[in-house]
Chain A
Amino acid sequence: MRAKYAVKQLSIFLENRKGRLKEVTQVLAEAQVNIRALALAESAEFGILRLVVDNPEKAKSVLSSSGFTVKEQDVFAVEVPDKPGGFYQVVKILADADINIDYTYAFVRGQDQAVLIFKVPDELFEAALQAIQQGGLKLVEPIFFYNS
C-alpha cells in the first residue's frame, strides 16, 4: 500500500534569520513549483519548513542547489468531511491501532472536504495505511498533489 499512497514531503532546515523564509519560497516560485500544503515547525533557534508540492524532485533539486538542506520523507493524506469530528475519526483509528503521530497538518478541499496529512514513524507507515483503510476512511493518492 505504501507505494500507492506515500506522498513525498520535503523538510527544509532553516535558521531563524530574517528573510530566510522569503528566500525559500522565492526559489520555489522562480522554479514554478506549486506548494500544495505546508507546515512550519520551530524551535528557539531554527525551524523546519515542511512542504507537499506538485513536483517534489524538481523542488528538492532547486532547493539543494540553492544551498538549503532538504530531506525527503513519506507522509500520507486522508480525506474527511469538513465537519465536527472529522479529524477525531482519523486520530481515533490511529490511536486504537497504537500508532504514534509525529505531526499532522491539514487544509480544506473545496466546499465540504478536508485533507489531513500525517507523518508517523517509518516502521508503522504500512500499519497506519491499513488501519485507515479498514476504518473505512479515504486515503488520498499522491497524484492529487502532483497534478496541479
Chain B
Amino acid sequence: MDWRKKDYLSREEIEALQLRRLKDTVERVYHLVPFYRQKFDEAGIKPADVKSLEDLRRLPFTVKQDLRDHYPFGLFAVPLERIVRIHSSSGTTGKPTVVGYTEHDMAVWTEVMCRTFGMANVGPGDVVHNAYGYGLFTGGLGFHYGAEAVGAAVVPSSVGFTKRQLMLMRDFGATILCCTPSYALHLAEVAEEEGLNPREDFKLRAGFFGAEPASEGLRQAVAEAWGIDYFEAYGLSEIIGPGVAASCPAGELHIFEDHFLPEIINPETGEVLPEGEEGELVFTTLTKQGLPLIRYRTRDIASLHKAPCKCGRTVIRMGRVVGRSDDMLIVSGVNVFPSQVEHVLTQVEGLTPNYVIVVDKRGVLDVLEIWVEVDERVFTGDIGALENLKRKLEEELANALFLRARVKLVEPRTLERSMGKAKRVVDRRELEKNLK
C-alpha cells in the first residue's frame, strides 16, 4: 500500500491489522528470543493466548535495563547475518543500549519517516537541512533516509559548526530544518548575532524538531524566530528511532500505530489506563524483525486519543509528552516536571527559555533554584526591572508548582548549552548521596 494512505485507515482496519501483526510478533519473540520465552513462561502465557488486542495487557513489560542486561545482541530475534544496521545509545549512564535493523526494518523506518515528512508535504524541490547528529544516534540517519525517499535534496550537516551551518542553509536555500528544538533556537540566535534576519534571509518554510522535550513556549519561540511551521518528530531508538509519531498540520501528534502499538499505563502499578488519561507511554513493535519489543516502557508521560483528527488522519493521537517518569523531581514531597518550569519561563515575554533547574539540600530541606539567563532582549539596563522580573518569575513558579522556587539571574551562555540535548536539571542531592 502507498504510505500516503496508511494514516487514513478505518479504526476496524487498523485494529485488524494490529491484531494480525501482534500475533505474529508474539510468536516470533517466543520462539526466537530466549529472554521473552522465559518471561512468557514465568507469566504462564503462550503465544496462542493472545486472541485480541485486549490480551496485550497480559504480556510482560520490557524496560531499558533489559536491553543493557543483554548487551549487545541478546534480544535480537534474527541471526547477525540478517542485520544490516546497528545503532547504539551513548551509554553515559551504564552499558549502552544497542538496536539492530534488518533490511525490512530499514524499509519500515524509511516509510514512517516518509509519513513524518508527509506532514509538511516535503518532496522534490525541497532542500532538507539535517542538523541531527549523524553516527550512532538514530536521529541523523533516520531523517536522512526519509528525506531522500520523499525525493528532497538532503544536506547532511550533522551537529556543530553553527556559523557554517547557517551559511549552508542560506547558500543552499534550505526549505526544511531538522534538529533539536533547542538547537533550532540557538541557530536563530547566532543568525541574529551575525546580523541576519532568520525570517527574511532564509527560505525555510517548516522544521521537524524532536529528540528532546519541548514546551509549548519553546515550540512557539522556534516557530516565531524562524517564521516557519513547527512539526514535532517523536521517537526513540529502542522502538525504531525518529518516526514513531509526528505532528500533523493541525498540530496533533499521530502515532504510526500500524507499526507501533501504544498503551498508557500507571507507572507505579503497571495497570493499563483508559483512553485520554495521562500515564506512561508503552509501545509494542508490530513489524520489527531485528529487535522486536513487547510492551516497552518509554518513561514518557503522555495520553492517547482515538477520535479522528481535524486533519483527516485516523491513526491514534498522543498528547504532548508532559515529562518523563524518571525526569520527575520530587522536591519537598512535591512532583516537579522540568516542562512545568519551562512553561512558566516562556510565558514571560521576551525571555529565551534557557535555564537550569538546580535542586539542593539545605539541612533537611530541599531547595529548588531556577537559574535563568539574562540576555539582551530582557536586559533594559535597569536594576529595578531585573528585580521585578525575578519577583514575577518567582510568583508564577510558586503558582504553577505549588512550591517556592528561588530564581537566580545569570549571564548568557554561562549555562551549559550542548549542541544536542540540553541539560536542564542538576540534582545536587544525588551528588551528596554518592559521596557518602
**Least Cβ distance of A53 to chain B in Å?**
15
Question: Which residues of the partner chain B approach A102 to less than 8 Å between Cβ atoms?
Answer: 382
Q: Are A14 and B411 in contact (CB under 8 A)?
A: yes
The reply to whether B381 and A45 contact each other, CB–CB distance below 8 Å, is no
By a CB distance below 8 angstroms, the chain A residues around B379 are 11, 13, 69, 71
B25 to chain A, nearest CB (A): 52
A31, CB-defined interface residue at 8 Å: no
| Given contact pairs A11-B381, A13-B379, A73-B381, A67 touches B412 in the complex (Cβ within 8 A) | yes
Query: A35 vs B388: C-alpha distance in the bound complex, in angstroms?
Result: 30
Please classify the interface of chain A as helix (H, G, I), strand (E, B), loop, or mixed, using the class held by over half of its residues: strand
User: In the bound complex, do residue B383 and residue A15 qualify as a contact, i.e. CB atoms below 8 Å apart?
Assistant: no
User: Bound complex: CA of A50 vs CA of B383, how far in Å?
Assistant: 11
Q: Is the CB of A70 within 8 A of B383?
A: no
Q: How far is the CA of A129 from the CA of B380 in the complex (A)?
A: 22
A 15-36 contacts with B by CB, 8 A? 15
What residues on A are CB-neighbors of B278 within 8 Å?
A: none
Cβ of A41 and Cβ of B383 under 8 Å apart? yes
A41 to B374, CA, bound (A): 16
Q: Which of A13, A14, A64, A73 has the most CB of B within 10 A?
A: A13
Q: Is B376 an interface residue (CB 8 A)?
A: yes
Q: Which A residue sits closest to B371, measured CB to CB? A: A15
Tell me if B410 and A15 are in contact (CB < 8 A).
Answer: yes
A42 to B413, CA, bound (A): 21
Which residues 51-76 of A sit at the B interface, judged by CB distance below 8 A?
64, 67-71, 73
Interface size on B, as a range, is 10 to 19
Contact (A67, B411) CB under 8 Å given A11-B381, A43-B387 = yes
Find out whether the CB atom of A71 lies under 8 angstroms from the CB atom of B409. no
Please pick, from A41, A69, A73, the residue contacting B411 in the complex, using a CB distance under 8 A: A69
Is B149 part of the binding interface, using a Cβ–Cβ cutoff of 8 Å?
A: no
A127 at interface, CB cutoff 8 A: no
- A43/B374 in contact, CB under 8 A: no
Give the residue among A14, A45, A68 with the most B Cβ atoms within 10 A.
Answer: A45
A76 to B376, CA, bound (A): 23
A45 is contacted by which of B375, B380, B408, B414 (Cβ under 8 Å)?
A: B408
A105 at the interface (CB under 8 A from B): no
Closest to B413 in A: A67
Query: A46 contacts B376, CB within 8 Å?
Result: no
Give the residue name and chain of the B residue nearest to A42 (CB): B383
Identify which of A11, A15, A41, A71 contacts B414 (C-beta below 8 A): A15
Is B63 part of the contact surface with A, judged by Cβ < 8 Å?
A: no
Chain B residues contacting A68 (CB-CB under 8 Å) are 411
Contacts of A131 in B (CB 8 A): none
B-side contacts of A50, CB under 8 Å: 381
For residue B386, CB closer than 8 A to chain A, the reply is: yes
Ordered by A's residue number, 8 sampled pairs between the chains whose C-beta atoms are within 8 Å are A13-B386, A48-B383, A69-B376, A69-B379, A69-B412, A71-B376, A71-B380, A102-B382
B residues lining the A interface (CB < 8 Å): 193, 374-376, 379-383, 386-387, 408-414
* 17 further contact pairs, Cβ within 8 A, besides A11-B379, A69-B412: A13-B379, A13-B411, A14-B411, A15-B411, A15-B414, A42-B383, A43-B386, A45-B408, A46-B374, A48-B382, A48-B383, A64-B193, A67-B413, A69-B375, A69-B376, A69-B411, A102-B382
